[in-house]
A = this chain, B = another copy of it.
């Protein structure tokens, strides 16, 4: 056999519906859906026109997004970005707590020294940084825990849940006083994982996330309470 350059097959299901799905998903997650003057309507035809394609692949992307609970397709009325109410968001945070708690449990005794170091670097930064930077690091910390579980399904489903919570979380996490508490929580979690205490790590993560749930329930009033 001859030697030849080794090229990865770069065709990754290059279908429009896939690309559109990703584009729309990101756009939706970046929207400030709880702002009064955000238009929650998505127009199939307009999107298709803007992208210079037909409605069909756009619709298929929308069906997928609806299945992920990010939008709502009302027959012959329109497509709308879904604005979840307090109960739904709080419940999603509970599910997230369940997932991530199990991830922390599995991470114990299953991580290398380097991995723990990485987790620590991400989660235990000083409080001097800006809210945005902190928020970003916070997300990364929780993502990292899902990853350290080495359980792909746990990670995938955790990320899905997270995507649904994110808009509300971003809106609710404006309170700087929460930052300190969060960082000391993170340090404890890192410790528990490092010293291989699955039960303890699981408990810490669960309570940490459930604290967010309580916080959201308390401070939700700031947000627009109208539903679609």
Q: Closest B-chain residue to A65, C-beta based?
A: B67
Cβ of A4 < 8 Å from any Cβ of B?
no
Cβ of A133 < 8 Å from any Cβ of B?
no
Q: Please judge, given known A-B contacts A63-B17, A64-B63, A68-B67, whether A153 and B75 are in contact too, CB under 8 Å.
A: no
Interface segment, A95-103, A108-116, A166-174? A95-103
Complex CA distance for A67 and B153, rounded to whole angstroms? 14
Chain multiplicity (copies): 2
Q: Please judge, given known A-B contacts A60-B59, A63-B63, A68-B67, whether A94 and B154 are in contact too, CB under 8 Å.
A: yes
A positions within 8 Å CB-CB of B: 13, 15, 17, 56, 59-60, 63-64, 67-68, 74-75, 88, 91-92, 94-95, 97-99, 101-102, 106, 151-154, 157, 161, 206
Is A106 a contact partner of B94 (Cβ separation < 8 A)?
A: yes
CB distance from A99 to the nearest CB of B (A): 5
Q: Using Cβ atoms and an 8 Å threshold, which residues of chain B touch A154?
A: 91, 94-95, 98
Chain A contact residues: helix, strand, loop or mixed: helix
Q: Using Cβ atoms and an 8 Å threshold, which residues of chain B touch A97?
A: 102
Is B95 a contact partner of A153 (Cβ separation < 8 A)?
A: yes
Q: Please judge, given known A-B contacts A60-B60, A63-B63, A67-B64, whether A151 and B99 are in contact too, CB under 8 Å.
A: no
CB distance from A82 to the nearest CB of B (A): 13
